[in-house]
Amino acid sequence: MSIADYIGRFDTITSDGPTKTNKRLMKLLVDDDSENFIEVTLWEEVANTVNKEALIQEPFPCIVAITSLKVSEFNYLQMKSTAPTHIYINPDIEEASSLATR
């Protein structure tokens, strides 16, 4: 299993709802400025910490930094949350400023 941190421009929430086992699952599309969208799957424990309204209402570009993601691939690159995953909206870091101005 490969664990990675990821930063990119938030595009959209593609789904947010219960799974068959009634656990919350949220999926985001994030662009890393290479014109490739990455799907980020946030399981219940992490999805419940996301301020969905703030994420959607942020003016473009909204930058997200997501830590401790499990990297997987099924038809295209996917990243899934793990127990220590955190999501930060418009973090005050140099990489975020650089992405926002591109």
Mean pLDDT, 10 residues at a time, over the chain (102 residues)? 86 94 93 81 93 89 93 75 92 86 75
pLDDT at 75: 59
Burial of 44 (0-12, 13-18, 19+ CB in 10 A): middle
What φ, ψ does residue 67 adopt, rounded to 5°? -100, 160
Identify the pLDDT of residue 72: 80
**Any idea which residue has 């969905």 for tokens?**
52
Q: Which domains does the chain have, with CATH numbers?
A: 2-92 (2.40.50.140)
The two tokens of residue 79 are 């990243």
